[in-house]
Every structure is written in C-alpha cells, then in structure tokens.
A and B are shown apart, each in its own frame.
Chain A
Amino acid sequence: MEHNATIHATHDHYDPIASKLGMWLFIFTEILLFGALFIVYSVYRYRHPVEFHLANQELNVTIGFINTVILLISSATVAMSITAMQKGDKKMTIIFLVITLLLAFVFLVNKYFEWGAKIHHGIYPGSEFLLSLSHGDILFFGLYFFMTGLHAVHIIVGMALLIWVLVRVKQDRINKDKYAFLENGGLYWHLVDLIWIFLFPLFYLIH
C-alpha cells in the first residue's frame, strides 16, 4: 500500500525500538501459546507417569539430537547475518541467511522422516493402533504430534519471514542504517529455536 507512504509522509519516521518492542510482545504471545500446551503436557504427565515414560522410549533420540544441533547452529547463523549487516557486509548477510534457511529445511526433512516412521508403525492421532493403547499413550503421542507439528508450522512461518527478509536485503530496503526487520526475523527465529529447546527434553529425554 504505497499511498500509506504519502499519507503519513510527515511522520514516516523509522523507529527500530518500536518495531523490536512489537516483535518482543508478539514473542510473548507465542510463549503463552506454547505455555498452555506445556500446562496440558504437565497435567497429563503427572496423571500418567509410567505410560509417558514408556512412550518416550519410542522416540528417536538421535534424530531429535541432530535437529537440536541444527536449530542451535541456525540460531547462530541468523545472529551472524545481523552482525554482518551491522558491519555493512551485504554479501555475508545473504550467505548467512541462506545457510539458516538451508538448516531449517534440513530440520523439516528430518522431522518428515521421524513422523513418517511413526505413521508407518500406525502411530498417529486417531489411528486404530494408537486408540488401542492406554490413555497415557494416546495423550503422549497426541501431544507429541500436536506440539512438534505446531513447532514445525512455526519453522515454516519463520522460513517465510526470513525469505522475506532476504528479498528486502537484496533490494537494499534493509541496509546498514535500517535493519530492524532483519533483527525481528532473527528474534523470531531464536524463538522457534527456544521452543524446540524445551520440546526436545520434554519428549525425548525426560525419563
């Protein structure tokens, strides 16, 4: 909406603090979104400790661990792209953003195989096999698919956001003097990483 620029020309000021404050507030809402799910997880884990323990043995810790490392590295690369932009190095900014996107993609591929294996064994929400198991199993795998699925949605949204950032960097609309949007993209990506940092132990590690 270009007319916006003309209408508000007189106060079309650039306020990076406002943009970042807005992103932080949005991140609060995301944390609460997952927070509600963590409550549900805790309640059902408390009710079905044994089933949750046994079901958690079914998950593939190796893939989970690899994905954790991937996301941690991608968080680092997105931070490096911001540093590169601060130094005015457009080329490195783009390279680091592309690496981040590639890592995100690899994460999703791993997730695909991990889910695929579960579904292949007949474990997916509402499957006959899963419903024949105990309540604790139904809830554990229900939560597993729902929470990791929701996280995967956030990965995809984060990737879309970073692609948008990438385009703007290429167009020089994000530049050395005006890079709050890049920082916001990075903040969001860190959030996506952070949530996984909680999901991984909750589903894969805790015995």
Chain B
Amino acid sequence: MNGNTSTHRLPSFLEYQGKYKGLAGWLLSTDHKRIALLYLYSQLFFFLAGVVMGILMKLELIAPGQQIMSPSTYNALFTVHGLTMIFLFIIPGLAASFGNFFLPILIGAKDVAFPKLNLLSWYLFIAGAVIILFAMFTGDGPPDTGWTFYAPYSLRTNTNVVLSVLGAFVLGFSSILTGLNFIVTIHRMRAPGMDFFKMPLFIWSMYGTAWIQLLATPVVGITLVMVIFDRVMGIGFFDPAKGGDPILYQHLFWIYSHPAVYIMILPAMGAITEIITTFSNRVVFGYKAIAMSSLAIAFVGYLVWGHHMFTSGMSETARWVFSLLTFLVAIPSAIKVFNWSATLYKGSIDLQPPFWWAMAFVFVFMIGGLTGLVLGSVATDVHVHDTMFVVAHFHYIVFGGAGLAFFAALHYWYPKMWGKMYNKKVANIGLLILFIGFNTLYFPMFILGIMGMPRRYYDYLPEFATPNLISTIGSWILALGLIIVIVNLLRPKKVPQEEVDNPWNGRTLEWKMQSPPSLENFEEIPVVEHGPYDLIKD
C-alpha cells in the first residue's frame, strides 16, 4: 500500500477527458465515480424537493383547520413526499452514491464488475423518477394512496396510481442491478491480500445491503405489476369484490418494504463505522461482530415484515412471532452501537465536522431505535399504530438515521470526492441548527402520537395544537440548518493539496490516493497486508 500522492499526480476523474467531452462525458461515462456523482446530485435534488413538500405539510398543520391546502392536496402531498423521499432519495441512499464511489476504491479495484450495467442502473433510476414526475402532472393528478399503495383503495382511486406504481417498478429494477453489480464486485474484484475479513466495514454493510436489494426487490416489483394489471385489466388479485385479498397485498408489499428499511440504514451504519473509527484514531472495536451484525440485520430483517400489520388482521400466533423476530433485530443493531461506543473509549478523538454528524446520527438513531421497540411490541403498537408516533419513529430512523448518515458521509468524503474543503466552522453551526430543528420538528410527534393524533390528516382537534405548532417551527429551524449546510458545501475553499488528500488521518485505501482520485483509482492494484484500520506508520 504505497501512496503515490506525493510523487506525481494524474488528472483527476473530474478533469479527465475521454472520448466524450463536457456533459456527454458525464452522461456516457461508465466510471463508477462519475456515476456516483450523477446519483448524488440527482438524489440531493429529489431530497430537496421532498423537503419542500414536507415543509408545506408542516405549514398546513401549524394550526387546526384548513390553512393553505385542500384535504385532497394534502393527501397527494404526503404520498408524493413519501414516494420522492423513499424511492428517489433514501433507497438508492448511500449505496448508489457513496457506495458507487468508494466500494471499488475501498477494495482496491479500478471499477465495479459491470461498469455499463452501473450506468444503466442510473438511467433506470432517472427513468423511474421521470415516470413518477409524469404521474404528478398528467391524468387525474398525483396519487393520494400514501406511498404504500394499499389495496383496495389503490385500485379504486381515480388518481394516477398506474404511472406512479410503474415508476416504482422501474426504480426497483435499478436497485436490483446495483445490488447485483456490488455483490459480484465484492466477490471478484478485491485486491490481492484483501480477504473478506480485511474489507473495511462499509463494504460489509454494502454487501448485506446488496443482498437485500437483490432478494427483496423482485417481490414488490411483481406485486406492483399486479396492482397495475388489477387496475388496467380488472384481474382482481387484491380486489375483495372479485375474491382478491388486500391483506395479501400488504404481506407482499412489506416482504420487500420492511427489508427496504435496512437497504436505507445498513450503508448508513457502515459509513458511520468508518467515520467513528477514523476520528477515534483507534482500530475499530469488534470488527467481526460489526461485520456479522450487518449480515444478521439483513437476514433477520427479512422475517419481520408482519410488524407493519399487527392491526390489519393476522392470527395471534403470527403477531407474537413477528413481534419476537422484530425484537431480535435490536440485537445486531445494538451490537453496532456498543462497538461504536467501545471504539470511542480511550480513543484519541478528533472533533471534526464528520464526527459531529456521526454523533448526531447515533443520538437520533438511539431514540428512533428505542421507540421502535414500542412499535415492535404488539400490546403497545395497538395503541399507537397509525398515529403521529409512527411518523416520528420513522423519521428518526430514516431521516435521523440514514439521512444524517448521508450528510455525515458527505462531509467525511467531501475532500476526497472533490479535492476541496468546506468551512468546518460553518459546517458545525449548520449541523447544530439542523439538529435542534430536527428534534423540535419530530419529537413533539411522539407526544402527539401518544395523545392519539392520527397520521395522514390535514386537520386535527384543538387539543393537539401546541405540539403541532412547535413541530412546525422546528421544520423552519431544520430548513435553516439545511440551507447553511448545503450552501457551505457549495462554497468550498481551495486548500493546499496535502490538506485534502488525507485531512482526517484515515487509514482505509481511499486516503492513500490523491484527491480527487485519478480515473483508474490505482496506477497499480495495491497489495493488502494489514487489516483495514491497523495503525501503521508510513
């Protein structure tokens, strides 16, 4: 693992001119790093669109009664907010962007196994997004079913369900191909000497994620196609009037959509592991336990979908089995959190912005995880199901977990990806404001849920007014923090090259190369002799 950074520099992948120049050089590039940035920019765009929709919903909920939109607009808004945030931002998530960029680099490869397939995945992603966009502005208006498309309402509503579902199907295809590509890459492209237990833990989490993408997505894919055929051909798979069973739809939907939560969160946990290890300046505690916990989460995550349906109509036995299995997921999740804490213990901690983001992640992820137990236990779930409590829990896990980890990874790998450095002080201030806003926005929802306020209504009873007002104010604080963070990232400082090659004293392979990496990543494929986090003096 000899660094070539100080000797001479190659043109970075950003500067490199291939056969195609300019925009075509990006849109036709099969370089995993360029594809990663294509994903990253498109995902951030969809994220911001989703944020705007979220803020509008919070504005509607600022006080009881109708404020700025009609009930049906509100229904459409929470559906499209969900579709955008889930299918276009957080399911591709860290895997499609940071995974694409760093998976080959971290295992010492020059690209993924199937570069053209990788580009195709991005095009499918964009195609799915365009189809969903069409669904919003054509026909009888955006879908109002919620992002879950529950039958039989999704078969009855006049809104544009078919196109939205088709979009989700195409996005699923993109996700499958990415997962397939990553599994083959990890199996076949590791550098000499890098056996499975010398891979950085981000790669382990990507490996678990890729298997979920591969094995869970087809189920929802075909289910969505069945919804399309129910609507277009009138088959009646899920239509009770024709003998179909809506509960069966829910089962098939959650067989994918629960594991999908782990598609979102596993790469996030992987990135957080990298960040905590780097900034603790220690060898990660419990390497094998963390690696195996990723696979355990992926595996057990398959078997818990029924906890979304405790009140939908299932046998008592099914309910307690699903509840038990749900509690089992807490074990590998807790293994990760404990190992992170143990890594910090007696570490030489470097308090840099990515580290603060990781800490913010751990904090909100804990709240999200512990409130998940309330929902995983049948008795308490019956009380809070379909209330704001669920919304709060979900956003603590997915926005607070996966979303914050996305930004943590962005701040961590920023100097490597663009060869520039943001203003660290402003980054910290932005995070602080965002963090305060996040908790002000979502924490009152737990209370509202316990009080009994149902989700997915544009209006509510007067006694829910105060927490809702606080929550709406929180959404503004969060937006302010987000603006600071993003503007700061858009206005980087030019700093001397040695300050971006390895600003954090990272020990994994990406920090041993120039920033931004050259087109081929490695002039010579490195030979790996040490564990990924071993402290070696160069």
Specify whether A and B are partners. yes
> What is the CA–CA distance of A178 and B176 in the complex, to the nearest angstrom?
26
A65 within 8 A of B: no
Instruction: Count chain B CB atoms within 10 A of each CB in A3, A22, A29 and give the residue with the most.
Output: A29
With contact pairs A10-B520, A36-B222, A139-B236 given, residues A25 and B184 touching in the complex (Cβ less than 8 Å): yes
Residue in B closest to A43 when the chains form the complex, CB atoms: B248
Most buried by A among B19, B116, B255: B19
Is B41 on the interface with A (CB-CB < 8 A)?
A: no
A2 located at the interface, meaning its Cβ lies under 8 Å from any Cβ of chain B in the complex: yes
Known: A4-B30, A18-B189. 19 other contacts (CB 8 A): A3-B20, A6-B19, A7-B18, A8-B30, A18-B113, A18-B187, A25-B180, A29-B176, A29-B218, A36-B223, A39-B252, A43-B248, A126-B235, A131-B234, A134-B243, A135-B243, A138-B236, A142-B237, A145-B235
Knowing A22-B180, A25-B183, the reply to whether A125 touches B235 (Cβ < 8 A) is yes
Contact: B30 with A6, CB < 8 Å? no
State the Cβ distance, A99 to closest chain B Cβ, in Å. Answer: 30
In the assembled complex, the CB of B34 is this many whole angstroms from the nearest CB of chain A, namely: 11
Q: Does A15 contact B (CB under 8 A)?
A: yes
- Distance of B329 from chain A, by nearest CB (Å): 21
Q: Which 9 A-B pairs have the closest CB atoms?
A: A135-B243, A126-B234, A3-B19, A142-B235, A32-B218, A33-B218, A18-B188, A125-B233, A125-B235
A1-44 contacts to B (CB < 8 Å):
1-4, 6-8, 10-11, 15, 17-18, 21-22, 25-26, 28-30, 32-37, 39-40, 43-44
Measured CB to CB, the closest approach of chain B to A160, in angstroms, equals 16
Chain B residues within an 8 Å CB radius of A21: 183-184, 187-188
Q: How far is the CB of B104 from chain A (nearest CB, A)?
A: 10
Known: A1-B116, A43-B248. A138 touches B243 (CB 8 A): yes
User: B-contacting residues of A (Cβ < 8 Å)?
Assistant: 1-4, 6-8, 10-11, 15, 17-18, 21-22, 25-26, 28-30, 32-37, 39-40, 43-44, 47-48, 125-126, 131, 134-136, 138-139, 142-143, 145-146, 150
In the complex where A10-B520, A28-B215, A40-B237 touch, is A139 in contact with B243 (Cβ < 8 A)?
yes
- A residues in contact with B184, CB < 8 Å: 18, 21-22, 25
The answer to whether A125 touches B214 (Cβ under 8 A) is no
- Please give, as numbers and ranges, the residues of chain A lying within 8 Å of B221 by CB-CB distance: 33
Choose from B110, B237, B252 the contact partner of A8 (Cβ within 8 Å): B110
- A35–B116 contact, CB under 8 A? no
Question: Known: A44-B243, A126-B234, A135-B242. Is A3-B28 also a contact (CB below 8 A)?
Answer: yes
Chain B residue at minimal CB-CB distance from A39: B252
16 A-B pairs in the complex with CB atoms less than 8 angstroms apart = A7-B18, A7-B31, A8-B110, A15-B113, A21-B187, A25-B184, A26-B180, A28-B214, A28-B215, A29-B180, A29-B217, A32-B215, A44-B243, A136-B243, A146-B229, A150-B222
A145 to B219, CA, bound (A): 19
Indicate if the CB atoms of B244 and A139 lie closer than 8 Å: yes
